[in-house]
Each structure stands twice: as C-alpha cells, then as structure tokens.
Amino acid sequence: MPIIRILPHPEYCPNGTEIKADTGTSLCEAMLENGIAIEHACDMVAACTTCHVIVREGFRSLGEIEENEEDMLDRAWGLEPNSRLSCQAIVSNQDVVVEIPKYSINHAKENH
C-alpha cells in the first residue's frame, strides 16, 4: 500500500503527515479519508482547481494527465511543472510526496 506524504500546510495539515492509500485511489480521496480537508469545490470532476497539489516526489507514478485536467491546471494558482489536480491524480504502487499550495483560486479570492 503506497504512502502519501503531505508536506506541512498552515491550514490543512500544519505538521505534515503520512497516509496510506489503496492503489487506484485519487490523492484527493485519500486525503479526505484521512482527515485532510482539502478543498474540492467541483466534487472531484476536474471542473475547478481547488484541489490543486504539487507532486514533489513520485509524479511519474501517478495516472496519466488527461486533456481536461491540463486545461483546468492552466487556471491554478501557483502552477508548477509537477502540478496535478488531486482529484484526478490516481495513486499507483509507489509512494508520493505532495505539497498543497498556500492558496487556491477560491482561497485567494476570499482573502482580497
């Protein structure tokens, strides 16, 4: 069972953590099932960017990025080459390390 290491995030996971996930589970589902309340405004259908994460290790082990995810990622705050929508990033049999960006599009708008 792969391990997902979440780097510290001031709101969602202040101390960082490691969680186990079944192969075939999305990063978003795994986080939610383990008490990390990452935003997911579109109910995990790749129609927003609120669940955007940056995959620091294990990027290539995740499922392929489809065109609709790529299109949505173009709108994400803090986009990096290893960015994924956590609702679409499917865990394989390898461990991954993810960072939840400081802001999402929703969060950035609420703070202005």
Helix locations, the chain, DSSP H: 27-33, 67-73, 105-110
Q: How does pLDDT run across 45-71, given as a tens digit for each residue?
A: 999 999 999 999 999 999 899 999 999
Q: What is the CA radius of gyration of the chain?
A: 13
Q: How does pLDDT run across 5-46, given as a tens digit for each residue?
A: 999 999 999 999 999 999 999 999 999 999 999 999 898 999
How many domains does the chain divide into? Answer: 1
Instruction: Give yes or no for residue 82 having a pLDDT over 90.
Output: yes
Q: How does pLDDT run across 87-98, given as a tens digit for each residue?
A: 999 999 999 999
pLDDT band of residue 105 (cuts 50, 70, 90) is low
Dist. CA 87–CA 29, nearest whole Å: 7
Would residue 13 be called left, alpha or beta, if left means φ above 0 and alpha means ψ between -120 and 50 degrees?
Answer: beta
Instruction: Give mean pLDDT, residues 90-107.
Output: 86
Give the range of the structural domain holding residue 61, as residue numbers without chain letter. Answer: 3-110
Closest to 85 measured CA to CA, from 49, 59, 56 = 49
Which CATH number does the domain housing residue 82 bear? 3.10.20.30
Q: What is the pLDDT of residue 104?
A: 67
